[in-house]
Chains A and B, each alone.
Chain A
């Protein structure tokens, strides 16, 4: 039972991180690979404050704030370059994050990371076991999902999708060219920071290997498989991917194969999903129903006109 709860806990944490990516990638149309770096920033913030100041609660609260600030800076650079440069900027962010946490040994513990992090406590009860951690993680996941749903359903979310669908036409209809995307980066990074703090609370340690390229492939698989625009898709994708990650525990092929099997399967899933299900398991639902008259351009301009701010 405890094992099942631990699996459920892992699914919840990866759902949180993937939902942040859904906002930037699915709704903003910017392919960001900095999500794991932002998760790492949150995780290290939580770990450093918990270890250095013996205050895990403060670390948990500050993790999304610091991650969001870092995400806003990454977003500014990514959006300023536009197009394929977002890929370069976000990848650079991932590498710089890895170098910083590995090289600043005095602060982050270097490649060994930080261990024996004090656990979170609620009303004097330390959250150590999966049932107690789930009691914290499930409400956090619910709040994150509701918050992101409210954001994506709001006029702000429609502006974000307008930029995704036509980055040149949307500004002509009064949609700011960069602000919604930078804000989306900040929110997405903040959500990843929450995921990082939850990871640290669960694992009790943190190291550069916790937030590397393997985890990046994992979160991309979750989002692509579940559906790039659907928050519920992140939960479906996370469930499939986490169960696949645990496959070697049930079906063993030997040491070396077991070690590389999850990464191979994630890669295979990414390729198959793109070949067979490019929109993922859950497809995007149109937020505004447009009457089928006129050509596609006039339909798009009709939809864009709903985004105009009333004077």
Chain B
């Protein structure tokens, strides 16, 4: 049971990192980016490549995330930004990002081959904390989530640069009037998004390995958490991601491992639909009360 909970906690931390990236892109730039699974994978492959060059564990991981951030910012300038500038509707941007994902998967498959690579495969140590046994990768996921998410929230609320990103997400027109440099803010947002997606990619690589298609599943889990928690907040999607992963770990405990994905997506869709129905009922009741008064 404790093993199941510690697995749920570490998967939740991993999903929380990716969730923050998706929610940030949606809030500030206003797009759902289906290309983020490629950023997730690029970070994993980046760390593998630096490790192949002989670099130690930590610098390889940091450089892998850096490569992913540069890659995401470059593609944002080449594809996303031109589409946003001409006011393309969200479906158009979404399809373009799906195209980018297909291109990235094909390129990575060609460069690295179909075999799954395992960065930091030597890291096998486990630690017991209050009866819960965690692997090094589990601790890395939880530690990164505890470190990076509050750091981002502090950056967004306490620095002028962060406040300009918040202003763009709250009221774009007013933010532009007050002198916020939108292109620069969007590129910065994308670099931050890539840091979170990339960090999730590197840690996920330690647990599950890296292959060109591995980012899609975690992306959809995180996207589901954003839908359940709502993209207006950064905290609620994180809580949703962690709770969903713990609940799914508990459900999957009794089932064969090959049904994990089915259980996960069924749980996400069921939670989201239930939340939507409850919210609608509450809204209807309020309207009825207002009409009666």
Contacts and interface: CB of A to CB of B under 8 A. Distances in A.
A102 B102 contact: no
Main secondary structure of the interface of B (DSSP, over half): helix
18 contacts: A82-B276, A85-B273, A88-B269, A89-B269, A92-B224, A96-B261, A213-B213, A217-B98, A221-B99, A263-B103, A264-B103, A264-B107, A270-B96, A271-B79, A271-B100, A274-B88, A274-B96, A275-B83
Interface stretch (B127-135, B140-148, B176-184, B215-223): B215-223
A88 B269 CA distance: 8
Interface string A44-60: 00000000000000000
B268 A274 contact: no
B232 to A, nearest CB: 13
A76 to B, nearest CB: 10
Interface string B243-276: 0000000000000101101100110110011001
Contacts of A273: 95, 99
Contacts of A92: 220, 224, 265-266, 268-269
Contacts of B213: 213
Given A85-B227, A95-B262, A260-B110, A278 B92 contact: yes
Contacts of A82: 276
A80 B109 contact: no
B258 A270 contact: no
A150 interface: no
Nearest to A97: B262
B113 interface: yes
Contacts of A271: 79, 96, 99-100, 103
Q: Secondary structure at chain A's binding surface: helix, strand, loop or mixed?
A: helix
A261 B110 CA distance: 9
Contacts, number: 125
Interface of A: 31, 77, 80-82, 84-85, 87-89, 91-92, 95-96, 99-100, 102-103, 213, 217, 220-221, 224, 256-257, 259-261, 263-264, 266-271, 273-275, 278
Contacts of A89: 269
Contacts of B258: 99, 102-103
Contacts of A221: 99
A99 B261 contact: yes
Contact of B106 (A31, A87, A260, A274): A260
A274 B83 contact: yes
Interface in B81-140: 82-83, 88, 91-96, 98-107, 109-110, 113
A85 B103 contact: no
A267 B99 contact: yes
Given A220-B95, A270-B95, 18 more contacts: A77-B269, A82-B276, A84-B32, A85-B273, A87-B94, A88-B223, A92-B269, A95-B265, A96-B261, A96-B262, A99-B259, A102-B258, A217-B102, A256-B109, A259-B109, A264-B102, A267-B105, A275-B83
A103 B88 CA distance: 41
Contact of A224 (B95, B104, B106, B110): B95
Given A270-B96, A274-B93, A99 B262 contact: yes
B16 to A, nearest CB: 18
Contacts of A77: 269, 273
A220 B98 contact: yes
A96 B220 CA distance: 13
A213 B109 contact: no
Nearest to A214: B102
Contacts of B223: 87-88
Given A88-B227, A88-B269, A269 B32 contact: no
Interface in B190-226: 213, 216-217, 220, 223-224
Contacts of A96: 261-262, 265-266
B276 A85 contact: yes
